[in-house]
């Protein structure tokens, strides 16, 4: 049985290893999305771990506070990864639906991400809602997607996306610094 629970500090080493395997240790730090996450904490209550029945970390998903240009406060979703031994069993989908539902319950209005539309489209993400928004770095535009949690929250949105999450405390040398 696979469970989805809030991420804890003890999950962090396994989460880092999973992300290195999924995206490449160096490559994942070069992503434009990373510019909106580095040195920040995830959005309050919106970091999740999927575990197998022994409690081992087999999936991860976080959301981050951003300002979506003229649309104001929103969330950036990612990275999402599922251990390759557990893929295609619906765990990525469960993480996505759980995270979106929790974000909605917390009153967030919109979620943005950079990812494959053929995957994220099934959760309602589309290109049209973010067409006039820009990211602070290079990105394949067809992979920049948005989802409104509140009706019309991205209507007419334009301008630059910027990070607005809580900074990691400077003296915090614990694993919480591993935020990518």
Ligand X SMILES: CC(C)(COP(=O)(O)OP(=O)(O)OC[C@H]1O[C@@H](n2cnc3c(N)ncnc32)[C@H](O)[C@@H]1OP(=O)(O)O)[C@@H](O)C(=O)NCCC(=O)NCCS
Which parts of this chain interact with ligand X (CB under 6 A)? 22, 78-82, 87-93, 115-116, 118-119
Label the pairing between strands 133-134 and 73-82: unpaired
Least CB distance to ligand X at residue 82 (A):
4
CB of 118 or CB of 156, closer to ligand X: 118
For 136, phi then psi, to 5°, come to -80, 55
Q: Which residue's Cβ has the minimum distance to ligand X?
A: 92
Least CB distance to ligand X at residue 93 (A):
3
- Integer CA distances (angstroms), 72 to 26, 136, 139, 163, in order: 31, 16, 21, 11
CB of 27 or CB of 173, closer to ligand X: 27
CB of 84 or CB of 167, closer to ligand X: 84
d(CA 140, CA 151): 26
CB of 65 or CB of 83, closer to ligand X: 83
Label the pairing between strands 144-148 and 133-134: unpaired
Least CB distance to ligand X at residue 67 (A):
21
């Amino acid at each position: 049985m696979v469970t989805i629970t809030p991420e804890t500090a003890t999950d962090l080493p396994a989460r880092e290893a999973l992300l290195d395997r999924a995206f490449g240790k160096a490559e994942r730090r070069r992503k434009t999305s990373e510019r909106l996450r580095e040195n920040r904490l995830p959005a309050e209550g919106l970091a999740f771990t999927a575990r197998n029945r022994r409690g081992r970390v087999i999936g991860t998903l976080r959301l981050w506070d951003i300002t979506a240009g003229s649309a104001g406060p929103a969330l950036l979703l990612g990275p999402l990864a599922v251990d390759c031994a557990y893929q295609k069993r619906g765990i990525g989908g469960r993480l996505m639906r759980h995270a979106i539902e929790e974000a909605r319950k917390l009153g967030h209005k919109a979620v943005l991400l950079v990812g494959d539309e053929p995957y994220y489209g099934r959760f309602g993400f589309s290109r049209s809602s973010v067409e006039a928004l820009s990211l602070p770095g290079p990105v394949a535009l067809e992979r920049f997607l948005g989802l409104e949690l509140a009706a019309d929250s991205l209507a007419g949105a334009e301008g630059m996306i910027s990070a607005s999450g809580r900074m990691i405390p400077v003296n915090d040398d614990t694993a919480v610094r591993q935020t990518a």
